[in-house]
């Protein structure tokens, strides 16, 4: 690897070949997650929902969100890969990891970010064939200007412009998921 530590300079950080600047603080992220948790409680406290976390990016959001829930709920993880570098590839690979029978259940899909919406639509199509009672979507981040689809996003943490971002689970070529704040690319 070309580095052993992230290089922090002012509010900037260099990851591989790109520079990123501070964008969303951990406090802001935490408040957004708390709002989502409260809204989920209003809607689903009696449903024993199954939270399905879309790996890898959503793992950190999901962990923080799940800790804030004060009603019965279950969590499991599914995975597929569609993202390479800084451009959405538009190609979505096979979805793996759904072991639970979701027929008749309330499911909440947990995603780090909805960009074009292509990946999430694939997940929705797949889950619909398994006859859940309902599927809701909780995403920490949403890029409305990039969004190409029409499905409803039930719980959104923060809406952001089209800039490429990293941190809090989001990566650049596998790196930077461990940052607790979110950074955006310096153009």
The contacts of residue 161 (CB under 8 Å, 6+ apart) are 143, 145
Q: Which residues bind Mg ion (CB under 5 A)?
A: 57, 112
Pick between residue 48 and residue 162 the one whose CB is nearest to Mg ion.
162
Cα(34)–Cα(40) distance, rounded to whole angstroms? 10
176: contact with ligand IMP by CB under 6 A: no
- When asked if residue 82 is in the footprint of ligand IMP (CB under 6 A), the reply is yes
Only one of the segments 27-35, 36-44, 59-67, 108-116 lies at the binding site for ligand IMP (rule: CB under 6 A); that segment is 108-116
Task: Kindly report the length of the chain.
Answer: 187
> Residue 155: what are its φ and ψ, rounded to 5°?
-135, 115
Which of 29, 36, 57, 106: binder of ligand IMP (CB under 6 A)? 57
Q: How far is the CB of 187 from ligand IMP (least distance, A)?
A: 13
Q: Are strands 18-24 and 50-55 parallel, antiparallel or unpaired?
A: unpaired
Query: What is the rounded CA–CA span in Å between residue 94 and residue 68?
Result: 31
3-state secondary structure 126-185: HHHCCCCCEEEEEEEEECCCCCCCCCCCCEEEEECCCCCEEECCECECCECCCCCCEEEE
Q: Which is nearer to ligand IMP, 49 or 57 (CB)?
A: 57
Q: Is 164 an interacting residue with respect to ligand IMP (CB under 6 A)?
A: yes
Is residue 113 a contact point for ligand IMP (CB under 6 A)? Answer: yes
**Nearest distance from C-beta of residue 44 to ligand IMP, angstroms:** 22
Q: How far is the CB of 67 from ligand IMP (least distance, A)?
A: 21
- Catalytic status, residue 115: yes
Q: Using omega within 30 degrees of 0 as the cis cutoff, is the peptide bond preceding 56 cis?
A: yes
Q: Is 165 in the site for ligand IMP (CB under 6 A)?
A: yes
**Residues designated catalytic:** 115
Residues near ligand IMP (CB under 6 A):
57, 82-83, 88, 111-120, 164-165, 170
């Amino acid at each position: 690897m070309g580095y052993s530590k992230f290089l922090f300079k002012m509010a900037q950080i260099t990851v591989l070949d790109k520079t990123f600047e501070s964008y969303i603080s951990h406090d802001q992220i935490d408040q957004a997650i708390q709002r989502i948790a409260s809204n989920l409680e209003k809607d689903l406290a009696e449903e024993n929902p199954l939270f399905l976390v879309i790996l890898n990016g959503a793992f950190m959001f999901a962990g923080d969100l799940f800790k804030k829930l004060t009603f019965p709920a279950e969590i499991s993880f599914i995975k597929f890969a569609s993202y390479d570098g800084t451009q959405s590839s538009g190609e979505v690979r096979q979805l793996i990891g759904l072991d639970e029978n979701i027929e008749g259940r309330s499911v909440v899909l947990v995603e780090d970010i909805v960009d074009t919406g292509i990946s999430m639509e694939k997940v929705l199509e797949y889950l619909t064939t398994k006859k859940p009672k309902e599927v809701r979507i909780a995403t920490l981040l949403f890029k409305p200007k990039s969004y190409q689809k029409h499905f409803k996003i039930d719980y959104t943490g923060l809406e952001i412009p089209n800039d490429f971002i990293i941190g809090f689970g989001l990566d650049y070529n596998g790196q930077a998921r461990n940052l607790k704040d979110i950074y955006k690319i310096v153009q």
